[in-house]
Structure 1
């Protein structure tokens, strides 16, 4: 199950990152700075969970790497949740609904944990345009759900290249 979660979660996170590039080019929306996630994580062992504004918190060595690794490990963890709830049968025959449920449901992590802890408030309530931020988060996590589905199928085809829909 760990191998499936790693492949599917990594693939879905790559799709999410590709969406961030497209979103920036088409809509001018800057990509998330995962270094700030790394900064937040690096301050946790130092006893600091909440920051008024994470960007104003003193930087930490290696925060970019910490943030990007955490980003991909989180994607793998959510793929693990998908497989934990729907089992390896889902990996043998991926379906869209479970992937979207987990993908869209994963928006709870930034809304209820990351954004409040990093100073943006619950569901980005302390940002200049909370509704815009929320919509971007929901769409991005829906894209992640589509990535779970697509990566599930890709993993399925790699595992058995002779398999077909017919």
Structure 2
């Protein structure tokens, strides 16, 4: 159990960092804006007060340390998704990582922003209330495909390190 927890943390942190490198590439080379983790932190920060849905999270008053909370939420989510990958595939997956389960999970994780985060932040289901919903959906899907590949790469890395 402890081994699985440690592996989920290592793989989740690594995969999230690799996915963030993709986001950085998009910002610097392709001029595609990435997520605003401060707004995610603001959304999460209002939850203890019982506010889970906002008409517009951007218009909600800012909270102290919301950027830090957003980044922490982002990385914690990556760890949770890595734990799901290991729960579904067993710890043997880390010994011999296979792309398909990681990629499938990455694609499936796009449901979290489509059905939970975006509606909660006032962006509608699957970004339906954004200025360009199809573009927002494609960006989300690509980001989660990249995360799936990053889970696989993180698995390969930690498999080699721990061998």
Q: What TM-score range do you get, normalising by the shorter chain?
A: over 0.9
Residue in structure 1 matching 2:45, options 30, 36, 42: 42
Show CA shifts across 1:61-103 (max 9, x none): 0101111011000000000000000000111100000000111
Superposed, 1:62-141 pairs within 5 Å as 62-141=65-144
In the other structure, the counterpart of 2:17 is 14
Gaps of 5+ in 1: 161-166
- Structure 2 regions of 5+ residues with no counterpart? none
C-alpha RMSD over aligned residues: 0.6
Q: What's the offset of the Cα at 1:104?
A: 0.9
TM-score normalised by length of structure 1: 0.95
- The SS at the match of 1:71 is helix
Consecutive aligned runs of 4 or more in structure 1 exceeding 4 Å deviation: none
TM-score, normalised with respect to structure 2: 0.96
SS in 1 for 2:90: helix
Is residue 52 of structure 1 aligned with residue 90 of structure 2? no
For 2:77 and 2:15, the matched residues in 1 are separated by 11
Q: Partner of 2:158 in structure 1?
A: 155
Q: CA deviation at 1:24?
A: 1.2
Find the counterpart in structure 2 of residue 3 from structure 1: 6
Aligned residues: 160
